[in-house]
Amino acid sequence: MDFVVNVMFILVLSVTASPPFLVPVLGSRHGQWSTERKLINSWGSEDLVTNLPGQPKVHFQHYAGYVTVNERSGRALFYWFYEASTLPNDKPLVLWLNGGPGCSSVGYGATQEIGPFIVDSEGHALKLNPYAWNTEANMLFVESPVGVGFSYSNTTTEYDSLGDDFTANDAYAFLHKWFLKFPSYKSSMFYVAGESYAGKYVPELAELILDKNKDPSLFIDLRGILLGNPETCDAEDWKGLVDYAWSHAVVSDETHRTIRDSCDFNSNNTWSNKDCSQAVDEVLKQYKVIDIYSLYTSVCIGNSTGSEQTSLQVMFRRTSKMVSSNLSVMLVFVLTAYEK
Ligand SMILES: *[C@@H]1O[C@H](CO)[C@@H](O)[C@H](O)[C@H]1NC(C)=O
Ligand SMILES: *[C@@H]1O[C@H](CO)[C@@H](O)[C@H](O)[C@H]1NC(C)=O
Ligand SMILES: *[C@@H]1O[C@H](CO)[C@@H](O)[C@H](O)[C@H]1NC(C)=O
Ligand SMILES: *[C@@H]1O[C@H](CO)[C@@H](O)[C@H](O)[C@H]1NC(C)=O
């Protein structure tokens, strides 16, 4: 989604004060077809993907497999790692997390959004993604937490105790184990990126990395985080949605002023203020004809009967403080349907 990608680039935040020096690069590579692997002597090569059905021919390697994050419980996270399409040793490593909570990073991020291979519209084969991020970075897509996508726990009762801390700790354990498979990336410039509910996962993992970095043996060269369409907190998210609409001429100055003057998004009864409620509905109404995720592209009109049914299903599965009126319910649907 273009919108998501644009926002991500805007929101690159510097989280360390490191000077922009060159990161030591381990191993070497002599052109794209080099058979000299920097993975020699590590066990990542076991995970090399050699025969992905329908895959177009490419000049970079990719790997997929499991990393055990807790042996006692039998918890393992599934990853899919695409090397940068050129000069991978010189490019940063980006960990990508989809949100949800519960959305697959392989099913969405990697194969529908920013991975190099996306599923074609008939679902018969893979095609190259012109917006693939691995032109600029080594992309590590991880299914997180356990229970999502191919990631699992053999102690299934753990699925009842998942939470943000649990998720961050497993993701952190994953990273160190993964670096054992791919040691040349341990010293790479590192970024954590994600969208939607990863607005929580990403900063929480980043904070854990910075805390643990106090021990030099655990050092990870975290340079920044990237968030697209992030869920942060309801009040800020509403404010952001409204300001974004106004700053992109989706709504008038008057509507924006009414919202600014009448809405208290921090309150528990934001929507009991009628002026606020109506003005916000006016914003949301625009997104029936404009794609909220890509303001400047034409909307993809689906089969309305079918999509309404989906929206109802999604709607009733979700309770949210964000819901104020029917239009807001629609928005929650839109956000939920896109939560990836
Ligand atoms: C989970 O259990 C299966 C079946 O016993 C086993 O093959 C697998 O290695 C276990 N996974 C982990 C992460 O221990
Ligand atoms: C909103 O409700 C919660 C729980 O009922 C309460 O703890 C909180 O203080 C309330 N916030 C405001 C701004 O009234
Ligand atoms: C849209 O809905 C109509 C009527 O329910 C159905 O006949 C048609 O096949 C649907 N089209 C698509 C593309 O799903
Ligand atoms: C939502 O829609 C239902 C049915 O269309 C209607 O009865 C109800 O009054 C609407 N609620 C609001 C808050 O607009």
Taking the centre of ligand 4 as the mean of its atom positions, its distance from the CA of residue 326, in whole angstroms, is 6
Contact 326 CB / ligand 4 (< 6 Å): yes
pTM (two decimals): 0.74
Note whether 329 and 308 are within 8 A (CB).
no
Length of the chain: 340
Task: Assess whether pLDDT exceeds 70 at residue 10.
Answer: no
Instruction: Give the CA radius of gyration of the chain.
Output: 21
Confidence of residue 119 (pLDDT cuts 50, 70, 90): confident
CA distances from 82 to 4, 20, 96 (A): 20, 25, 11
Residue 122: alpha-carbon gap to chain centroid: 25
What's the pLDDT at 304?
A: 55
268 lines ligand 2 (CB under 6 A): yes
Q: Whose CA is nearest to atom 3 of ligand 1?
A: 154
| Lookup: tokens for 176 | 């160190």
Q: Beta partners for 76?
A: 68, 152
Q: List b or e across 232-257, with b for residues whose CB sees 16 or more CB atoms inside 10 angstroms.
A: eeeeebbbebbeebbeeebbeeebbe
Which of 277, 278, 326, 332 gets mutated to test ligand 4 (max ligand atoms within 8 A of its CB)? 326
Instruction: Give the residues surrounding ligand 3 with Cβ less than 6 Å away.
Output: 303, 305-306
Q: Which ligand is nearest to the CA of 73?
A: 1
What are the beta bridge partners of residue 279? none
| Residues with a CB atom less than 6 Å from ligand 1 | 68, 74, 76, 154
Ligand located closest to 310 CA: 3
List pLDDT tens digits, range 244-294.
999 999 999 999 999 999 999 999 999 999 999 999 999 999 988 888 888
Residue 325 CA: nearest ligand 4 atom is 13
Protein residue whose Cα sits closest to atom 10 of ligand 4: 326
Whether ligand 2 lies within 6 angstroms of the CB of 267 is answered as: yes
Nearest-angstrom CA–CA distance, 16 and 168? 19
Residue 301 structure tokens: 């009109």
List, for residues 151-183, the tens digit of each pLDDT value.
Answer: 999 999 999 999 999 999 999 999 999 999 999
CA-to-CA distance for 193 and 92, rounded, in angstroms? 12
pLDDT in tens, 19-51: 333 332 233 333 333 344 454 445 678 999 999
